[in-house]
A and B are shown apart, each in its own frame.
Chain A
Amino acid sequence: MRLPEKGCALCEATWGDYWEEVEGQRMFFCCDICATEFKNIVREVKAHTGWKNIDEIRMTGDYRGRDCSALNADRKYTFFIRFDSKGEIQTFKEVPTPR
């Protein structure tokens, strides 16, 4: 999976020193909450799309909600996601991809 050039795989912060293996890839996170959120995103995208793997997840927004695009080869799946204060999914909304 392609990740941000630097910093936390979810929020791109460069604080912290927390590492987890996600989808067979060792990833840097600033804290365990971001790791939980990222793993929840991956699980949710795979459940909705049926994809076996994800090439990249692009995100904008902040801790109150993120607009995301998951990419797999030439396929794109867009959604909005919001987490509670423990990193569990509170809102997940599929956003139709413009054609």
Chain B
Amino acid sequence: MKCPTCGTGFDSNDFDALGKHFYAEALRSDGRHVMWLNRNITKNKTDATALSGLFERFFALGSGGLQGWVKRRFIEKFYGPRPHPFVSALQNPSRGTLLGYVVEHQHFLRQWVRSCSFIMARTDETEVVMYELDNINTEFGGAGPDRPSHYELLLRMGESLGLDRTKVLATPPLPDTKDAIRVWDDICQDYHWVEAMVAMHGLELIANRNLRKEGASVHYFDPEILKTGQVTDATKAFLREGYEADVGHSEEALDLAAKFAGRLGVVDDVQATFMRSIDAFDNYLMARLERGKQFETA
């Protein structure tokens, strides 16, 4: 298993070692490890043995298997009683929020293709290759003029709000977006392809409308805005695409990953890497809001 913060490796399910590692890092006040403990385990200092027990509980899969665990952790982080601020902003989106989404997300989607390509390059499983090909086409390639890609729909949303695509494409990412992209690039280049698969496609849970049935406090956005004139038609087209595609994308990837993670004995590595990925995603969503502020004041 891996440390979800720094990637240090331990024997499989060696929660004693993981607990001692975090305890030692906390003693020397390492910010990344301390913040991870505060946000995911407890803010109250324990001894190393008790901490190991808390880790064991945190990583226990439960009856829902790896898929259920991933969804549970994702909901806790983004869809709890205090949803992520970007999700809150998207419930009634301003022009700035949507343009912040456009400018930062085009960088995310360009990395997305690289990430999926690394997974394809590093697996021998045909069904995984087929899944990734389909995903890349939906997100980036498109399927002809009648089925534009998510990337194209994103750029059209920006244009419908008065932001030319040449400006979008020429704007460098904010630092938190850049850092997050580096995390995903590292994961997909260096970690097991099953870890990469969950790290990336687990993020598509953000628009999975079925999460409401599994405990999410809100939808990604209020689906009513797809029926009203509150946002532009291009915005509706972009949001609708994710709303319709990401249930299948995230669920199918998690099913594939659960099958191969068990078979290849990498379940706990997958869990740790997923936590690292959603931390990066958390910061990336904040960057969308930060970018959006630039348009609110413009």
User: Hey, which bits of chain A sit against chain B, CB under 8 A?
Assistant: 7, 11-18, 29-34, 62-65, 82, 84-85, 90-91
Whether B43 contacts A7 by the Cβ 8 Å rule is: yes
Report how many residues on chain B are interfacial, defined by Cβ distance under 8 Å. Answer: 25
Whether B29 contacts A31 by the Cβ 8 Å rule is: yes
Q: Is the interface of B mostly helix, strand, loop or mixed?
A: helix
Whether B35 contacts A14 by the Cβ 8 Å rule is: no
Whether B286 contacts A15 by the Cβ 8 Å rule is: no
Give the distance in Å from the alpha carbon of A65 to the alpha carbon of B88 in the complex: 13
**Known pairs A13-B43, A15-B43, A16-B34; A30 contacts B286 (CB<8 A):** no
Across the interface, which residues of A come within 8 angstroms of B39, CB to CB? Answer: 62-63
Which residue of the partner chain, among B29, B283, B286, B290, contacts A16 with CB atoms under 8 Å? B29
Across the interface, which residues of B come within 8 angstroms of A14, CB to CB? Answer: 43-45
Q: Is the interface of A mostly helix, strand, loop or mixed?
A: loop
Whether B85 contacts A65 by the Cβ 8 Å rule is: yes
- B9 CB-CB contact with A under 8 Å: no
Give the distance in Å from the alpha carbon of A11 to the alpha carbon of B31 in the complex: 13
Whether A15 contacts B84 by the Cβ 8 Å rule is: no
Which residue of the partner chain, among B27, B85, B179, contacts A85 with CB atoms under 8 Å? B179
User: Hey, which bits of chain B sit against chain A, CB under 8 A?
Assistant: 26-31, 34-35, 37-39, 43-45, 82, 84-85, 175-176, 179, 282-283, 286, 290, 293
Which residue of the partner chain, among A31, A64, A85, contacts B34 with CB atoms under 8 Å? A31
Distance (whole angstroms) from the CB of B287 to the closest CB of chain A = 9
Distance (whole angstroms) from the CB of A67 to the closest CB of chain B = 12
Across the interface, which residues of A come within 8 angstroms of B85, CB to CB? Answer: 64-65, 82
Across the interface, which residues of A come within 8 angstroms of B176, CB to CB? Answer: 84-85
Across the interface, which residues of B come within 8 angstroms of A91, CB to CB? Answer: 290, 293
Which residue of the partner chain, among B29, B35, B44, contacts A63 with CB atoms under 8 Å? B35
13 contacts between A and B (CB under 8 A): A12-B43, A13-B44, A14-B44, A15-B45, A16-B27, A31-B30, A33-B31, A64-B282, A82-B85, A84-B283, A84-B286, A85-B176, A85-B283
Across the interface, which residues of A come within 8 angstroms of B45, CB to CB? Answer: 13-15
